A and B are shown apart, each in its own frame.
Chain A
Amino acid sequence: MNSALQFLIDALSVGSLYALAALGVGLVFGVLRLVNFAYGDFITVGSYALIVPSASITAIVFIGNWPWPLLVIASAAIVVIVALICEYLVFRPLRQAPPAVLMIASFGVGYIIQNAIITIYTARPKAIGIWPGLTEAVAIGDLRVPGLQLVTIVVALGLLALLILFLKKSPFGVQMRAAAEDFQMARMLGVRANTVIGTAFVISAFLAAIVSLLFLCQVGVVSFHMGTQLMLIAFIATVIGGMGSLVGAVVGGYTIGIVGTLLQVLLPENVRTFRDAFVFAAVIIILLARPQGLVVTRAARERV
Chain B
Amino acid sequence: MIEPMLQVEDISVHYGRLAAVRGVSLTVGRGEIVCLVGPNGAGKSTTLLTIAGVLAPTQGTVTFDRSPTAGLSPEAVVRLGISMVPEGRRVFSSLTVEENLRLGTYGRSDRRAVERELARIYDEFPILAERCSMRAAKLSGGEQQQLAISRALLTGAKLLLVDEPSLGLAPIIVERVYDILRDLREKRGVTLLIVEESTERAVDVADRVYVLRRGLIELEGTSEDLADGERLHEAYFGFGAAGTSQETQQ
- Chain A residues with CB under 8 Å of chain B are 171, 174-175, 177-178, 181-182, 184-193, 297-299, 302
Contact = CB atoms under 8 A, between A and B. Distances in A.
B78 A188 contact: yes
Interface stretch (B90-98, B183-191, B206-214): B90-98
B54 A184 contact: yes
A190 B95 contact: no
Interface in B42-93: 52, 54, 73-75, 78-79, 83-84, 86, 90, 92-93
A64 to B, nearest CB: 40
Which 8 residue pairs across A and B have the least CB separation, nearest first? A190-B107, A189-B104, A187-B74, A190-B78, A185-B90, A188-B84, A298-B94, A171-B106
A297 B135 CA distance: 14
Which of B75, B108, B137 has the most C-beta atoms of chain A within 10 angstroms of its own C-beta?
B75
Contacts of B155: 189-190
A189 B94 contact: no
A188 B93 contact: no
A182 B102 contact: no
A181 B151 CA distance: 16
Nearest to A189: B104
B151 A178 contact: no
Nearest to B52: A188
Contacts of B218: none
Contact of A181 (B74, B78, B94, B106): B94
Given A187-B54, A188-B52, A298-B94, 14 more contacts: A174-B99, A174-B102, A175-B103, A177-B92, A178-B95, A181-B92, A182-B92, A184-B54, A186-B103, A188-B84, A188-B86, A189-B152, A190-B104, A190-B106
A190 B82 CA distance: 10
17 contacts: A174-B95, A175-B103, A175-B106, A177-B92, A177-B94, A185-B90, A186-B103, A187-B54, A187-B74, A189-B103, A189-B151, A189-B155, A190-B108, A190-B155, A191-B103, A191-B106, A192-B107
Contacts of B75: 187-188, 190-193
Main secondary structure of the interface of A (DSSP, over half): helix
Contact of A188 (B54, B94, B95, B99): B54
Contacts, number: 73
Interface of B: 52, 54, 73-75, 78-79, 83-84, 86, 90, 92-95, 99, 102-104, 106-108, 137, 151-152, 155
Contacts of B93: 181, 298-299, 302
A182 B84 CA distance: 14
B152 to A, nearest CB: 8
B73 A193 contact: yes
Given A186-B103, A188-B54, A178 B74 contact: no
A186 B99 CA distance: 12
Nearest to B99: A174
B137 A189 contact: no
A177 B95 contact: yes
B22 to A, nearest CB: 23
Contacts of A299: 93-94
A189 B83 contact: yes
Contacts of A191: 75, 103, 106-107
Given A184-B54, A188-B86, A174 B74 contact: no
